[in-house]
Amino acid sequence: MSLAPLGYLDAAGRRAHSILPLTWFTLSVATAVCIVIAALLWIAVRRAPKNGGALETRSVPVERGSNGINWITVGLLISCVPLLVTLVWTMAALAAVSGPPSHPGLTLDVTAHQWWWEVRYDATNPSETFATANEIHIPVGVPVLVRLHGGDVIHSFWVPKLSGKTDAIPGQTNLSWMQADQPGRYRGQCSEYCGFQHANMAFEVVAESQADFASWRAAEVQPAPDPITPAQARGQALVQYRCGLCHQVRGTGAGAISAPDLTHLMSRRTLAAGRLLNNPGSLIGWIQDPQGIKPGTQMPNQYLSAQQLSDVQAYLVLLR
């Protein structure tokens, strides 16, 4: 990850790349205009014959002075040049990057929820369809079409290094697309204000080679492994009973879909939409006190005993 994981002045994908020259052009024009105007203003004020208050003001006689309309005409004419260039360039860039690719290599359905991302991979064979959360795997080098759905309020899908923002709005399906040039992890972030935990509504896009992507996908399709030890079995029972009201663990009795799918929870790098790095320790911390870690999150504190926690942990770390 770079020094600024959400910075968009270094792009890593075709879509973000193709607008960078336009961004730099407008930024340079903007900076140049500021410098020229600042210089003109500075010199003009420095020429002031008097410095003071009312007395000094009154002491300088009023004169009609020259007409000066040329300043406006010439100024406007000069301004027109970068404006026209920007206008044409904008339209060209818009045409190049706005439309979704006609032959996407992969199509995803992303549903934004308060405050996490549901990612659904559809397949022609229903048994190969699966859902995951907050981590989007894509193959490099192919355009990926993202169908965006609003699960509750408005959110916005943004992966600065790959693609600009597109809102996820309830009641409509918006289209976005991205294409990664090289393998890597790219941070994404909700960029439309959506309530308490808008700040902690991140995700990651993992771009990998076709082969890696295929093996990841094959692993994700699998149901959760069965518990082996008694502790894992007790943990699974607890997860079904306590977590299953909201979460799904495919292949078990936990079958709700109003919170992230946990079937392969431990294959993901982060927890709670990028709030925590995912490891057995932070997982237990999160389960016990989500309201302390992410105040206002939909997940309630669990108040499990130490024994229950260790059982749950024993089971969840199985879900790779």
Partner 1 sequence: MRPADYRTPAIGSDSLAHQARLLEVWATAPGLKGFFSSVDHKQIGIRYIVTAFLFLALGGIEALVMRLQLAGPNLSLLTPEQYNQLFSTHGMTMIFLYASPILSGFSNYLWPLLLGSRDMAFPRLNALSYWIYAAAGIFLYAGFLTGNGPNDGWFNYVPYASRDYNPGLNEDFYSLGMVFLGISTTVGAANFIVTALRTRAPGMSINRLPIMVWGTLTASAANLVVVPAVSLAFLLLWMDRQFGTHFFDPGGGGQPLLWQHLFWIFGHPWVYAIVLPAMGMVSDGLPVFCRRPLVGYAAVALSTVATMILGFGVWVHHMFATGLPGLALSFFSAASIAITLPSAVAVFAWLATIWLGRPVITTALLFFASTILLFVIGGVSGFMTASVPVDWQLTDTYFVVAHLHYVLIGINVFPVVGAAYFWIPKMTGRMLDERLGRWNFWTMFVGFNLAFLPMHVTGLLGMPRRVYTYAQGMGWDTLNLITSIGSFVFAVGVLLFFVNVWKSLRSVANAGPNPWDAPTLEWAVSSPPPPYNFAVIPTVVSRHPLWENRLDEEGAVSSIERGMLLDKGKETVGTTALDAVPDMVLEMPEDSFAPVLLALGAAALFVGLLLKAWLVAGGGTGLVALAILIWLWPRRELREREAGS
Nearer to partner 1 by C-beta: 68 or 126?
68
* Category of 113 on φ-ψ map: left (φ > 0), alpha (ψ -120 to 50) or beta: beta
Nearer to partner 1 by C-beta: 135 or 311?
135
Minimum separation from the CB atom of position 291 to partner 1 (A): 11
Question: How far is the C-alpha of 267 from the C-alpha of 39, rounded, in Å?
Answer: 56
Nearer to partner 1 by C-beta: 135 or 220?
135
Question: How far is the C-alpha of 23 from the C-alpha of 17, rounded, in Å?
Answer: 10
Nearer to partner 1 by C-beta: 15 or 234?
15
Minimum separation from the CB atom of position 24 to partner 1 (A): 10
Minimum separation from the CB atom of position 304 to partner 1 (A): 25
Sign of CA dihedral 239, 244, 246, 250: positive
Give the angle 129-135-138 at the CA atoms, nearest 5°: 65
Minimum separation from the CB atom of position 187 to partner 1 (A): 8
Minimum separation from the CB atom of position 52 to partner 1 (A): 7
> What distances in angstroms separate CA 65 from CA 44, 68, 181, one per listed residue?
15, 8, 61
Q: Are 25 and 86 in contact (CB under 8 A)?
A: yes
Nearer to partner 1 by C-beta: 93 or 304?
93
